[in-house]
Structure 1
């Protein structure tokens, strides 16, 4: 009986693969023979199937691009944004100027309303930043704006950001999801509690959220800018990747993300879908909890860094998708250290360092990862690599939301994670990931602390000369590598499976889904 079930299961899997791959070799995300010449039109419902749900829908509390992708640029917007080339552009502010090194002035649009009908104005901006910076609210994203002393209302449509010290990357932070402006009425309703009914100014408004199942946005017909082309967007939570891909094949969904490298070839062989690819700002890495033994010993961290053979990981786990990283900054990010050297593969040095640290026979540890296929594959390869130096690794796989919570709480020894870098500026990476003040949910889940690194990061924030800022960031990255806080893996490449019926979809370098130009054939 068991053998019959196995045979049936085998033929079912074979049938799914045959249906997906079809008889076509077309690998473009453009059109198939069936779609050729068919023009995309406005309207309809765009269905996006995703690996995991958002942890919340409040930009002041969001710690992941996964969550921010649902609302940033769709429900919430900031004073400034980024264009397709990642350059800063006006958004809710029509212009700005630096009055002096601590004062930035923004002239606001006068034709904007929130989804609830509340007018957008200077008071709304002040209300947002008052909430974000309120110690009683305890918002984890407050740290990125800690230099803001006051948002001063000059008139109904002019505000000034009064800083405690010069802060060069202010615009880059305002363009990220932390700078999203929430309706004052919603802030009044929720106060210091997390907002799970987002209310902004964007091209889409919030309709519903069924946790663990789906989030629904609808077109904002009153939007002041170019209106969305689809009527509705449904983000469905579908943990199993083969199911996500099958839903596109069956016409039940239009976009599946993220796409694992293991499914890339299957999608490319399909006649009804293609692969979307773009290089991102972010990187994937293996992190150590700096405060938990034995990883509080730099010799242990260096030993493990020497024991990982990264070439085989890039080829075997990631199929050469995403180039090998040498830092936690992607190569397109300002402040990236091109000449930084990661630890070379050297088992003899690894064993020597472990012995010096008091672990000549290795030790047992736990490696935490989220439930994405390539992350699990990476964990298994790491398990194999570290076994060669006597370290017995137990792999703990968790759903993304639970993984983020446990990682943020510091209940880790080693973990596999990523940092998308929402701004394209090194400050977003360096301050959040490595500064002592950012320990925990703000981003420093290494629980790392180095006063010299803190000083370099703080100096770079104040420095207006971009060449000097670059030098400061390079020195900080060198010290972080010397401390072996992490093992860089690869520069992230955004991958998604996209139906040939979809036009205009892209993923920004920061990792946000860009849907305003999407239309469906």
Structure 2
């Protein structure tokens, strides 16, 4: 999940995906004779001849937080970062288990899995002409570690806090101008995956030093506003008009194949109806829609809605297992069996999500397909409550059920769950919070704070495609992301073992054991795994689907 202070925890951006921006691998039908050029989001020029358009227009629901990969990280930010910055490696197109070179031409790893050496591309320049070299890589990771910003946790698996300069220099070593080496203390299974995260974006050292430098624990406000203007990626930020749009333009210094697009304009439109109208009339090439709004564009001329398969975006419930009555296992089980999951899927997600058993989503290492979601069984729930000493819910306080209100799906889910729990005798009070307020209460204050929600819905989307970003985050004691404050000695031991094993089959066995323990103890109820759905105009081509890709890979997109 993209999370922590300011990083909206799984508050996902969706290009017509109910909970993430993920796209199909199928090609768009090319029989259309209509192309659309879009100088503004509300005007359309229809053409049947002439050169293809080179400006891609997208409507999304929210503004970005900014352009500093260490401190900014909502879904719009991820979309920008993946197209303006470069990392050493990136996922191999649609495959989330293998990697291809980006700023590194190649790499090798020692037999013990602890020493990784990357050989960098030569003659790469930042968009302002400054050279890229191993110092830029060293500086970028040094900055991530020393700042310890909201996104720095993505490299905690191999560079945990607190920051120590000597330890960092031992871990990240400049071998020569175009060779960088990572000397890990232990093998780390998802190491390459963490190098593909947005926080691993390589930034320009001179630019940072000229505008505030690195201050431990403090954001760099200049980078937040201007960090996307000088990069090594295929696009750079031309302008950010707060509350309205961001314009990306092609980087003339880009080392790779020149993108076919010259610019991308991303408009921020909070009302779903505005986005629906724009995609229907061709004022946008792709739009962010969720749930039932997707149905509003089905069968619209020139609009393609594609169902791409599983995303890694999930919604779930958590119980603070240290607080009464959620410290009682039978109460948690009773709630788990009281929820009508089919009704939630249909009413809240309009059929664009499905139940799953976590902590790892379907399609990811560590997900056990043999496990089935909790069965909807109100009578069993009543029996469990009686067994716990609360027949018909008597003796239990009013349960305050907190949920973020940013998307209709969470509101509808909360209402369905309230009705289901009421039917077994529980008194449930719904507490809806804005996404920002919810994030601050869950991730910016200690779990011991009385304001911390004890029973809440939550959302998660991946930072990297590995269970260390899921199971470890949810279940390891002391982590802020462990919203349930879950602490099981056996599970903790298995988590520590699993992340330091490179062999995938060995890791999976450990995660399967974790899954069963957690399923039985119910610190979380895994509610829904979103489907990847793509809404776009039929003249958009070159896209591919990867659950880790937020929106398009603009390197590949072209318009007819």
Q: Kindly tell me: are residues 503 and 137 of structure 1, through their superposed partners in 2, closer, same or farther at Cα, counting changes over 3 Å? A: same
1:327–1:342 CA contact under 8 A, matched in 2? no
- Consecutive unaligned residues of structure 1, counting only runs of 5 or more, are 1-27
Which region of structure 1 is more displaced relative to structure 2, 39-48 or 219-228? 39-48
Q: Choose from 282, 293, 297 the match for 2:328.
A: 297
SS in 1 for 2:367: coil
- Consecutive unaligned residues of structure 2, counting only runs of 5 or more, are 1-26, 36-46, 160-167
Shift of 1:204: 0.9
1:306–1:350 CA contact under 8 A, matched in 2? yes
* Equivalent residue runs for 1:160-199 within 5 Å: 160-188=181-209, 189-190=211-212, 191-192=214-215, 193-194=219-220, 195-196=223-224, 197-199=226-228
2:243–2:268 CA contact under 8 A, matched in 1? yes
1:290–1:485 CA contact under 8 A, matched in 2? yes
Q: Choose from 71, 77, 96 the match for 1:61.
A: 71
1:503–1:520 CA contact under 8 A, matched in 2? yes
2:348–2:408 CA contact under 8 A, matched in 1? no
Residue in 2 aligned with 1:4? none
1:40–1:519 CA contact under 8 A, matched in 2? no
The structure, 1 or 2, with the larger RCO (C-alpha pairs under 8 Å, 6+ apart) is: 2
Residue in 1 aligned with 2:419? 384
* Equivalent residue runs for 1:152-163 within 5 Å: 152-163=173-184
Shift of 1:174: 0.9
CA distance in 2, matches of 1:175, 1:464: 17
CA distance in 1, matches of 2:436, 2:549: 18
CA distance in 2, matches of 1:183, 1:403: 34
Whether 1:436 and 2:449 are equivalent positions in the alignment is: no
Q: Choose from 80, 96, 114 the match for 1:70.
A: 80
Residue in 1 aligned with 2:559? 520
CA distance in 1, matches of 2:484, 2:49: 50
RMSD: 2.7
Shift of 1:498: 0.8
1:49–1:235 CA contact under 8 A, matched in 2? yes
CA distance in 2, matches of 1:133, 1:451: 29
Residue in 1 aligned with 2:300? 270
Aligned residues between the structures: 488
2:333–2:381 CA contact under 8 A, matched in 1? yes
Shift of 1:336: 1.4
SS in 1 for 2:305: strand
Q: Choose from 445, 466, 477 the match for 1:425.
A: 466
TM-score by length of 1: 0.86
Q: Choose from 510, 519, 523 the match for 1:481.
A: 519
Shift of 1:307: 0.8
Q: Deviations over 1:368-409 (max 9, x none)?
A: 123212222212211211111233334344444444333323
SS in 1 for 2:351: coil
Q: Choose from 507, 522, 525 the match for 1:469.
A: 507
Which region of structure 1 is more displaced relative to structure 2, 487-496 or 396-405? 396-405
Residue in 1 aligned with 2:318? 287
Q: Deviations over 1:118-147 (max 9, x none)?
A: 21111111111112122x544442353342
Shift of 1:178: 2.7
SS in 2 for 1:147: coil
1:282–1:329 CA contact under 8 A, matched in 2? no
Shift of 1:156: 0.4
CA distance in 1, matches of 2:189, 2:49: 45
CA distance in 1, matches of 2:482, 2:526: 15
CA distance in 1, matches of 2:483, 2:73: 11
Shift of 1:41: 5.4
* Equivalent residue runs for 1:243-262 within 5 Å: 243-257=274-288, 259-262=289-292
SS in 1 for 2:470: helix
1:322–1:493 CA contact under 8 A, matched in 2? yes
CA distance in 1, matches of 2:198, 2:232: 13
SS in 2 for 1:107: strand
Q: Kindly tell me: are residues 173 and 161 of structure 1, through their superposed partners in 2, closer, same or farther at Cα, counting changes over 3 Å? A: same
CA distance in 2, matches of 1:517, 1:70: 15
Residue in 1 aligned with 2:403? 368
SS in 2 for 1:436: coil
Residue in 2 aligned with 1:450? 488
* Equivalent residue runs for 1:51-130 within 5 Å: 51-72=61-82, 74-86=83-95, 87-99=98-110, 100-130=112-142
SS in 2 for 1:171: helix
CA distance in 1, matches of 2:245, 2:483: 29
CA distance in 1, matches of 2:55, 2:546: 22
SS in 1 for 2:556: coil
Q: Choose from 254, 263, 269 the match for 1:232.
A: 263
Which region of structure 1 is more displaced relative to structure 2, 414-423 or 44-53? 414-423
Q: Kindly tell me: are residues 209 and 477 of structure 1, through their superposed partners in 2, closer, same or farther at Cα, counting changes over 3 Å? A: farther
Whether 1:47 and 2:85 are equivalent positions in the alignment is: no
Q: Kindly tell me: are residues 245 and 130 of structure 1, through their superposed partners in 2, closer, same or farther at Cα, counting changes over 3 Å? A: same
1:371–1:397 CA contact under 8 A, matched in 2? no
Residue in 2 aligned with 1:141? 152
